[in-house]
Structure 1
Amino acid sequence: MAGHSKWANIKRQKARVDAVKGKTFTQLSRAIIVAARNGVPDPAGNFQLRTAIEKAKAAGIPNENIDRAIAKGAGTYADDSVQLEEMRYEGYGSGGVAILIEALTDNRNRTAADLRAAFSKNGGNLGETGCVSWMFAQKGVAILSGRVDEEKLLEASLESGADSYELADCMAEVFTDVGNLENLSQHLKNEGFVVSDVELRWIPSNSVEVSDSEQARSLLKLIDTLESLDDVQNVTANFEMADELMALSV
């Protein structure tokens, strides 16, 4: 068990996107619908649903909207005629950067067309299923806020079955198998850590170093465009770039 910094750039990329745009009400509500559909429609017995509700409340979504989303996921909402599908799309950005997109859609043709347009306008290509997903593995991530004692974090990570962790200024991220995320989160809380968020994240097995400013600008614009689509829930790419390049689209 050891800390690692390989994914620090991806974390900064995600933080930049979230700070600029944030998740829309539509995206957060859809996450609740899918969580309720995939498990019991009770947050007490559904970790995914409980997490989605917490994020929705933090974003200011009214309780009645949350309750309606749960009912839609459970199939008990009388006026619900929309059926959402979980879709995963794959493609390439400028310079062959691999991009993985998770979407929730009620019209896969519309979503594919929107994604294809976003790629083509920003120097990329929407690819076939499987073209880049083999480069990624899904992990559970617990995000800790505040200053973290590394020795204490190492011990807690070992005890909870985590794979690795990453330390940064006033925060840390702990990585584990998807099925162990709830256990990890609870154990860290019991040990006194402040768990500010938990999520599932696609982690690339290799990365592409980006040093050209025009390529960086093109990639960041593509990521922003993809993230702005209501059907898109998450975007992951396998590039690394220096902070000064990362700031180009801010």
Structure 2
Amino acid sequence: MAGHSKWHNIKRRKESQDAKRAKIFTKLSKEIFAAVRESGTDPNTNLRLRMALTKAKAENIPNDNIERTIKKAAGESGSVQYEEITYEGYGPGGAAVMVQALTDNKNRSAADIRHAFTKHGGNLGENGCVSFLFDKKGQLIISRTEDINEDELMLEAIEAGAEEFESDKENFFIQTAPEEFENVKQALEENNFRFSKAEVTMIPQTYAEVTDEHAEKMLKMIDALEDNDDVQSVYHNFEINEEQLSRVAYE
């Protein structure tokens, strides 16, 4: 099955891991809060909460933090209201970009996101201008270890309902339809597989290569967007190979 190399063509990490971890905690806590306010505290009946808890556990957020957030969301009435907004546009060089935000001040979010696009040579567009270039899919990533038989894992994943299976030297990548994500995840967990990442995400249908100059600006734009506390996810079809990345003066 094709397409894995395009699933994770960029792996960028900031120098300060502590600062990044704090950002992740903030974003996931906000998502848990919003999920509880929307549909209650039971993850068995609240799919959004179940997904948020899966992400939180994957990021090793302490259970105490999660429980405090759930209790706070369940106990408060009207003090905080988060609105979900999706922004669409183009990065430098024409790569498609989707930004999912969860905010209590949409005017602030819109201004900040527009600024990030403009500052780095991108353009914020109208709703629908790039969303048709992405498919909503479940994605499960399992780190490769000596005790995992690739053929057996692939067979179990496909039998559980997975659509695609790919691998590289470090990981196994499993793709599902959104409605099959939980079934596949649960089936593999019951067979003692553990995930380094498990989420429903947006997968590009096609990918865009850009010049080195545009690649550098694109990387900086993505970081600026991900650094925004209101931004939950950034999806794009920007593709860069290791050779080009080595040429880009990016820090």
Compute the displacement of 1:7 (Å): 4.5
* Alpha-carbon distance change, 38 to 12 in structure 1, aligned in 2, over 3 angstroms: farther
2:39: which partner in 1? 39
- How do 1:211-222 and structure 2 match up within 5 A? 212-222=211-221
1:11: which partner in 2? 8
Query: Partner of 1:43: helix, strand, or coil?
Result: coil
2:198: which partner in 1? 198
Q: Is the 1:162–1:184 Cα contact (8 Å) retained in structure 2?
A: yes
1:230: which partner in 2? 229
Q: Is the 1:68–1:77 Cα contact (8 Å) retained in structure 2?
A: no
1:99 aligned onto 2:97? yes
Identity of aligned residues (%): 44
Compute the displacement of 1:206 (Å): 1.0
Query: Partner of 2:138: helix, strand, or coil?
Result: strand
Post-superposition Cα deviations, 1:192-243, rounded to whole Å, max 9, x if no partner, equal 4222331111111111123x22111011001011100000011111121111
1:88 to 86, 89, 95: 86
AA matched with 2:162? A
Residues of 2 paired with 1:11 and 1:181: CA distance? Answer: 19
Residues of 2 paired with 1:37 and 1:81: CA distance? Answer: 11
Compute the displacement of 1:145 (Å): 1.7
Compute the displacement of 1:28 (Å): 1.4
Query: Partner of 2:8: helix, strand, or coil?
Result: helix
Q: Is the 2:86–2:101 Cα contact (8 Å) retained in structure 1?
A: yes
1:166: which partner in 2? 166
- How do 1:3-82 and structure 2 match up within 5 A? 4=2, 6-13=3-10, 15-17=11-13, 21-22=20-21, 23-56=23-56, 59=59, 61=61, 63-74=63-74, 76-77=75-76, 81-82=79-80
Q: Is the 2:58–2:196 Cα contact (8 Å) retained in structure 1?
A: no
Residues of 2 paired with 1:33 and 1:174: CA distance? Answer: 28
AA matched with 1:116? R
TM (norm. structure 1) is 0.86
1:137: which partner in 2? 135
1:155: which partner in 2? 155
Q: Is the 1:145–1:196 Cα contact (8 Å) retained in structure 2?
A: yes
Which range moved further: 37-46 or 152-161?
37-46
Q: Is the 1:188–1:195 Cα contact (8 Å) retained in structure 2?
A: no
Residues of 1 paired with 2:135 and 2:58: CA distance? Answer: 28
AA matched with 1:227? E
Q: Report how many aligned residue pairs link the two structures.
A: 243
Residues of 2 paired with 1:27 and 1:33: CA distance? Answer: 10
* Cα RMSD after superposing both structures: 2.4
TM (norm. structure 2) is 0.86
AA matched with 2:140? A
Compute the displacement of 1:64 (Å): 4.9
Gaps of 5+ in 2: none
Q: Is the 2:84–2:101 Cα contact (8 Å) retained in structure 1?
A: yes
Compute the displacement of 1:155 (Å): 1.0
Which range moved further: 227-236 or 63-72?
63-72
AA matched with 1:91? G
AA matched with 2:172? A
Post-superposition Cα deviations, 1:107-146, rounded to whole Å, max 9, x if no partner, equal 1111010001001100001111001001111111111122
2:116: which partner in 1? 118
Gaps of 5+ in 1: none
